[in-house]
Structure 1
Amino acid sequence: MSENIRIGREGRVVTLTIAREDKKNALTQAMYGALADALLAYGESDNDRALVITGAGDMFTAGNDLKDFARGDREIEEPPVWRFLNAIRDCPKPVIAQVNGPAIGVGLTMLLHCDLVYAGRSATFSAPFVKLGVVPEAGSSVLLPAAVGMAMANDILLAGRVLDVEEALRAGLVARVFDDAALDAEVGRVAAAVAMAAPRAMRLSKALIRSGRDAVAEQMAREAKHFAAQLQGPEFAESVAAMAEKRLPDYG
């Protein structure tokens, strides 16, 4: 279990907090592993009925820790990041996102697998994969166009557009927006209500709602193959070097 993933419980509601504020809650492989383990345990629990994912401080997550990815073990058959993405995709019970600040990269794409997404006024949303020399993941190459339309998805994934919270609300990426100071309480109320619902009906309803997404797993596998190849290529190496040297990357 990673010390940077805090697990809290209140009644039948589990809260996972990404807590690495000194690094803008950037996710390491160890953190992905902890998130995957917690999601799997939640899915199997007889007691837990709702799960909330949020970030510590004023940041949801800055996405992948690029230095951690650069030195990661690529020989692992199922790296922790893919374990997490598969776990959040396949979780049989409600997953709620409480977006308390910028959601970057996987911080945005994981929302496409959450059942309920609520955000504070300070939230922003971006997916700078191409800028970093990698490709979209988490099924976002199909789920994002389906959610917001092809034109906006291309603006986000290819042109690097950053959405503010009102744009995200209009696009359908989030269900409701709350003042930052009220976000904890409002999401807590929703989570408590979800946890009180009939559990079998909730599982069946979630399965029915997602029944048209059978091809997502196949697309995620294709994305993972290209993502892994890019991690070993010169473009990702240049993005990491540019970050370390505090300059813009030069892709030639």
Structure 2
Amino acid sequence: MTNHVQINQQGPVVKIHLNRPEKKNALTVEMYTAIADAIETANADTSVRAVFFSGEGESFCAGNDLQDFMARPPTGPDSPVLRFLKTLRESDVALIAAVQGKAVGVGATMLLHTDHVVLTPDAELHFNFIKMALVPEAASSMLLPQYVGRQRAAEILMTGHPVLADEALATGLAAHVVSPKDAMPTALAFADKISTLAPAALRETKQLMQRPPEDLAARMHAENLMFMQRLGSPEFAEAVTAFMQKRPPNFG
């Protein structure tokens, strides 16, 4: 862990707070490692329902710390930045983010893997790899066109033009745009809402949503298998009992 990444667990929610405001929360190798460790730990803890990301100061995340990145570039799949992206892709707990100001590079692409994003009105998502003579990462060349369409994605990825908060909301890149004072409470309200729900069912729902595109028959088959397994689960038994007894279910 690094003091530039503050990690704490409050019940079923693991909070990851980027705390390097003097560098606009630009990420170093040590920060990537701390975040990846925290996500892996959260995934291994069946009591965890969500991981919540936030950033200190005026910007959510300025992407890579360029000096650190140049001195210690990724060289393989075990490199901290690539391990971080892998943990995002493979996470089966909900990922939530409250974003203010600029989210640049990996600070923007990580949001494409996040299940619930709340933005402030001044938020800007910068997929500006082309300005550094680089190509998109974190599968953003596939995911961004799915959100905004190929034509708009081409403009964003080929020119580095930012996505502002209103467009992010309109295209489904964000769930809400709220005032700065309401951003974290609104994002955490989603975590609170799902924290009372069946944890295994939540994880399996996300696993289904993360499956690659496939024909309807294949997706229905996968859903049917999980659905039938769910029917035999203690969670389903508790949900039915609670319904019959007219009380909230208790999933522990």
Give the match's secondary structure for 1:118: strand
Greater relative CO, 1 or 2 (CA 8 Å, sep 6+): 1
Give the match's secondary structure for 1:146: helix
Matched with 1:19 is: 19
Matched with 2:117 is: 117
Q: TM-score, normalised by structure 1?
A: 0.81
Give the match's secondary structure for 1:212: coil
Alignment of 1:32-181 (within 5 A): 32-72=32-72, 74-75=74-75, 78-181=78-181
| Aligned-residue CA RMSD (Å) | 1.5
State the Cα distance separating 1:21 from its structure 2 match: 0.5
1:173-220: CA deviation from partner (whole Å, max 9, x where unpaired): 111111111112111211111221111110111111122259xxxxxx
Spell out structure 1 runs of 4+ moving beyond 3 A.
73-77
CA distance in 1, matches of 2:76, 2:138: 18
CA distance in 2, matches of 1:184, 1:111: 15
Give the match's secondary structure for 1:60: coil
- Between 1:105-114 and 1:115-124, the stretch displaced more is 115-124
Identity %: 39
State the Cα distance separating 1:47 from its structure 2 match: 2.4
CA distance in 2, matches of 1:166, 1:77: 35
CA contact (8 A) 2:77 2:83 kept: no
Give the match's secondary structure for 2:177: strand
Give the match's secondary structure for 1:98: strand
> Between Structure 1 and Structure 2, how many residues are aligned?
214
CA distance in 1, matches of 2:83, 2:205: 24
State the Cα distance separating 1:46 from its structure 2 match: 2.6
Q: TM-score, normalised by structure 2?
A: 0.81
Unaligned 5+ runs, structure 1: 215-252
| AA partner of residue 182 (structure 1) | D
Which structure would you say has the larger Rg?
2
Identify if the C-alpha distance between structure 1 residues 50 and 77 changes in structure 2 by more than 3 Å, giving closer, same or farther: closer
State the Cα distance separating 1:160 from its structure 2 match: 1.3
Matched with 2:31 is: 31
Give the match's secondary structure for 2:195: helix
CA distance in 2, matches of 1:213, 1:58: 37
State the Cα distance separating 1:74 from its structure 2 match: 4.7
| AA partner of residue 172 (structure 1) | G
- Between 1:98-107 and 1:73-82, the stretch displaced more is 73-82
Identify if the C-alpha distance between structure 1 residues 159 and 85 changes in structure 2 by more than 3 Å, giving closer, same or farther: same
Matched with 2:217 is: none
- Between 1:73-82 and 1:135-144, the stretch displaced more is 73-82
